[in-house]
Chain A
Amino acid sequence: MSEVILQNLNKSFGSEHAVVDMSLTIDDGSFVVLLGPTGAGKTTTLRLISGLEEMDSGSISIDGRVVDSETPAQRDVAMVFQQYSLYPHLSVRDNLAFPLRSPILKTSKSDIDRIVNEVAEVLQITHKLGNRATELSGGEMQRVSIGRALVRDPAIYLMDEPLSSLDARLRADLRIELKRIHSDLGSTLLYVTHDQIEAMTMATHVGVLQEGKLVQFGTPREIYENPNSVYVASRLGLPRVNILPAELFSATKGMSHSIGLRPEHIAYGEGDPAVVKRIEHLGDQTRLHMDLNGQAITAISPEGNPHAAGSTVKIKPINPLYFDESGDRITGTNA
C-alpha cells in the first residue's frame, strides 16, 4: 500500500506562486501524469513530494505517514530527472548500484549484482554496464537514469519529463517500456510532462495544471471528453480543439459564449458553408483547414477526401463543448 496524498500544498519563489493550494490523491498502483506547460508547477510539485523543496504550507503523506519533516532519503521515493543527472565519475554499473549501496538500503553485494543485471536487461543497457556514464548517447543516459530509479522498490516513482530530450522514435519505445514496467511491477508513478501523447498513452489518471493550480483530475478519457474549461480542453487532442464563438453556427447560436469543437466532432454535408483553405495529408488521416466567417477551423477530412482546396463545404457541430465567458464549461446543455 503506497498511497500518496497531497493536501493544500503551497509553494512560492519570491512573488511567484509555483504551486497553489494543490490537493491530490495518488492511489496505490496508479500511473498519474501531471500535464501542463512550462511554469505550471509540475516540477515543483515533484520536488515538494521528494523533499528537495520545502513547502510553504500544506501536508504530504506517503503510505499513510506524514513526511513533511523527513529528508528526501527518508521519504522512500525514487526520482528520474529531466537532465539525466548520472554521476559522471562512476560507471554505468556503479550508477545503477548507487541507490542500493546507500546507508538506508545497504543491499548485499550479490543482491546488488542481481538487481543491476535485471534492470540493465529490461532497459537493454547490459552491454554498456562497464562504460563511464559520460560515454553514452542521450537515449542510453536516460535509460540508465530510469534504471537508477527502477533498481529500488520505492513507495512512489517520480519522473520529471524523462523523455523530453530524446528523439521521437526512442521516446515512443520508452513510452511503451515504461507502461510495461508499470503494469509488471504494479508500482505507483507520478509522471510530469507537457507532452499530451505521453499523458494519453501511459496515464491511468491525468492531472492538468494551470499556473500552479490543479484544474482537473481524472482518467485520460474523462479529461478528453469532459474537460471543465477551455484551458483543459486545449491541453489534449491533436489537432487541437477548435474554440469558436457559439454564434458562428446556426445550430449553437445563443447556447453559450463559446464552443469547443474537436476535429472529429464535425459533420459534413449540412449546416453552415465553410471554405476549405488548405489540406494536409498525414498518411493515416487528412486534415482540412477551413474558414467559416473569418474563423479558422481544423477538422479531419471524411473518408475519400472528397474536398479540394478552395471548395465550399457545409459543416455542422456534433456534441460540442459549451463554455461561458470565463472559459468554464457549461454542462447540462443539449445540442
Chain B
Amino acid sequence: MSYSITEPSSRQKWVAGTLVITYALITMVPLLWIMMTSFKTPPDSISYPPKVMYQPSLEGYVNLFTTRTRVSPEKLASLPPPANFAEEIVRNRDMVIAGPSKFGGRFLNSVIIGFGSTFLSIFLGTLAAYAFSRFKIPLADDLLFFILSTRMMPPIAVAIPIFLMYRKLGLNDTHLGMILLYTAVNISLAVWLLKGFIDEIPREYEEAALIDGYTRFQAFYKVVLPQAATGIASTAIFCLIFAWNEYAFAVLLTSGTAQTAPPFIPTIIGVGGLDWPAIAAGATLFLLPVMIFTVMLRKHLLRGITFGAVRK
C-alpha cells in the first residue's frame, strides 16, 4: 500500500479526523459543562440525572452581578411591576435586587493586574532579552541561569516570606503589589523565550540601520521589535495566562480592593445556598478575555509556539 505524508488517503484522513475530534470533545467537556450550567436555573443545575436539554435562563448571570434580599409575598405584591428582565427573574424567586455584587470590581481587578503584569513582563523581558542577545555582558550565562532558577520551585513555596514582606511594605491587597508579584514570576519565562526569538534576528539588520543613520535604540525599535512581534505575542499569551489564572497568591495576598476574580468566584457559593449557575456564569465570563486575546494573536501564536524553529 502506498503511503504519502503530503497526500493522505481518504481513510487516513477519516481516522485522523475522528481521533482529533474525539480528543477535542473530551477536553472541551468541562468547558461545555461550565457554559451550559451558566444558562441553567438553580433547580435545573442540580437535577439528577443532569439535564442536557433545558429552558435556558439568565438567572446565573443576574445572580452573579447582583445581591438580593428575600421579601414577604405581601411586600412583593405591593411593588410596582419589574423594570427589566433581571428584576423579573429575581422576583420569581420571592426576592428583590438589593444592589450590584462585587463581581464587576473583581473582574476589573483581574484585567488591571493580568494585563498590567503581562505588559510589564514583556516590556522588561524584551529589553533584558535584547541586552543578553546583543551585548557582551559579564557572566551572561550565569545571570541567565540565575533568572531561570527562579522557576525551579513552585512560586507558592516562597509564599510566607512574600506575605511578610508585602505586609511590611504595605503592598498587601494592592494592584501594584500583585502586578509586581506576577511580573517577578513571569519575567524569567519572558526573558528566556524572547532571547530565543531575538537571537534568531540577524544582527545585520540593526547594523544596516545603524549605518542608515539611526541610533541603537531607534534600530531596536524600528527593526528588531517588528521582527520580534511573533515572539512577543506568544510570550505575552503565556504571561497573561499565568497572571490571569493565578489563584494561590491571590487568595493569600488580596482580600478586598485588589482581589482578582479567581479567589472571588468560589465565594459566590456561600450566598444563599449552592448557586452553581452563578459560579458557572462567573467562570464563563472569566474565560473570555484569555480566549479573545489568544484568538486575536493566534496567527502569531501558531508560529511562535514552535519557539522560532520554523522561521526562515
Interface residues of B in 13-62 (CB under 8 A from A): none
B3-11, B208-216, B252-260: which lies at the interface:
B208-216
* Interface residue ranges of A52-105 to B (CB < 8 Å): 52, 71-73, 77-79, 81, 83, 85, 87-89, 98-99, 102-105
Chain A positions within 8 Å of B, measured between CB atoms, are 50-52, 71-73, 77-79, 81, 83, 85, 87-89, 98-99, 102-105, 134, 148, 152
CB-CB under 8 A for A83 and B204, given A71-B215, A88-B227, A103-B218:
yes
Contact B204 A99 (CB under 8 A): no
Q: Would you call A89 and B227 a contact (CB within 8 A)?
A: yes
Contact residues in A for B214 (Cβ distance below 8 Å): 73, 102-103
Q: How far is the CA of A51 from the CA of B216 in the complex (A)?
A: 13
Cβ contact within 8 Å between A81 and B204:
yes
A81 CB contacts on chain B under 8 angstroms:
204, 207-208
**In the complex, chain B residues 166-210 whose Cβ is within 8 Å of any chain A Cβ:** 202, 204-205, 207-210
Report A-chain residues with C-beta under 8 Å of the C-beta of B212: 73, 78, 98-99, 102, 148, 152
Compute how far the CA of A229 lies from the CA of B72 in the bound complex, rounded to whole angstroms. Answer: 113
Let me know if B226 and A85 touch, CB within 8 A. Answer: no
B223 within 8 A of A: yes
| Cβ-defined contact, B207 with A102, below 8 A | no
Q: Is B210 touching A72 in the complex (CB atoms < 8 A)?
A: yes
| A52-B213 contact, Cβ under 8 Å, with A83-B202, A89-B226, A103-B218 | no
Out of A51, A79, A103, A134, name the residue touching B208 (CB < 8 Å): A79
Which chain A positions have C-beta within 8 A of B210? 51-52, 71-73
CB pairs A–B below 8 angstroms (15 shown): A52-B207, A52-B211, A72-B207, A73-B213, A78-B212, A79-B208, A85-B202, A85-B208, A87-B223, A88-B205, A89-B226, A98-B212, A99-B213, A102-B213, A148-B212
In the complex, which of the residues B202, B211, B223 contacts A73, with contact meaning CB atoms closer than 8 Å? Answer: B211
Interface residues of B, dominant DSSP: helix
Residues of the B chain whose Cβ atoms lie less than 8 Å from the Cβ of A85: 202, 204-205, 207-208
When C-beta atoms are compared, the residue in chain B nearest to A84 turns out to be B204
A152 to B227, CA, bound (A): 25
Shortest Cβ distance from residue A151 to the other chain B in the assembled complex, whole angstroms: 10
* Contact residues in B for A51 (Cβ distance below 8 Å): 210-211
Most buried by A among B210, B211, B215: B211
> What sequence of 0s and 1s flags, for each residue 148-171 of chain B, a beta carbon within 8 Å of any chain A beta carbon?
000000000000000000000000
Q: Which positions in B face A, CB cutoff 8 Å?
A: 202, 204-205, 207-215, 218, 223, 226-227, 312
For B223, what are the chain A residues with a Cβ–Cβ distance below 8 Å? 87
Closest residue on chain B to residue A82 by CB atoms: B204
Are A77 and B209 closer than 8 Å at their CB atoms? no
Q: How far is the CB of B217 from chain A (nearest CB, A)?
A: 11
A12→B208 CA distance, assembly (Å): 23
- Tell me the minimal C-beta distance from B293 to chain A in angstroms: 23
CB distance from A82 to the nearest CB of B (A): 9
- Chain A: minimal CB distance from B219 (Å): 9
Shortest Cβ distance from A105 into B: residue: B213
* Most interface-central of A72, A83, A98 (chain B CB within 10 A): A72
**Distance of A47 from chain B, by nearest CB (Å):** 8
* Interchain CA distance A50-B218 in the complex, whole Å: 18
Q: How far is the CA of A105 from the CA of B140 in the complex (A)?
A: 36
Do A73 and B215 touch across chains, with their CB atoms under 8 A apart?
A: yes
Question: In the bound complex, what is the Cα–Cα distance between A105 and B214 (angstroms)?
Answer: 10
Excluding A72-B207, A78-B212, A87-B205, 11 further A-B contacts by CB distance (< 8 Å) are: A51-B211, A73-B210, A73-B211, A73-B214, A79-B208, A83-B202, A85-B202, A98-B209, A102-B213, A102-B214, A148-B208
Contacts of B209 in A (CB 8 A): 87, 98
Residues on A with C-beta less than 8 A from B205 are: 85, 87-88
Residue of A nearest to B226 (CB): A89
Across the interface, do A87 and B218 meet the contact criterion of CB distance under 8 Å? no
Q: Which of A77, A81, A85, A104 has the most CB of B within 10 A?
A: A85
Q: Which of A50, A71, A148 is the most central at the interface, judged by chain B CB atoms within 10 Å of its CB?
A: A71
Q: A87-B205, A89-B226 are in contact. Are A103 and B211 (CB under 8 A)?
A: no
Q: Which residues of chain B come closer than 8 Å to A152, judged between CB atoms? A: 212
A79 touches B211 (CB 8 A): yes
B218 cross-chain contacts in A, Cβ below 8 A: 102-103
Flag if B204 contacts A72 (CB, 8 Å).
Answer: no
Looking at the assembled complex, report how far the CB atom of A328 sits from the nearest CB atom of chain B, in whole angstroms: 38
Q: Smallest distance from the beta carbon of A300 to chain B beta carbons, Å?
A: 42
| Closest 6 pairs (CB-CB, A-B) | A102-B213, A104-B213, A99-B212, A85-B204, A72-B210, A89-B226
Question: Nearest chain B CB to A248's CB is how many angstroms away?
Answer: 49
Contacts of B226 in A (CB 8 A): 89
Residues of B within 8 A of A87 (CB): 205, 208-209, 223
**Once bound together, how far apart are the Cα atoms of A142 and B100, in whole Å?**
65
Closest chain A CB from B216 CB (angstroms)? 8
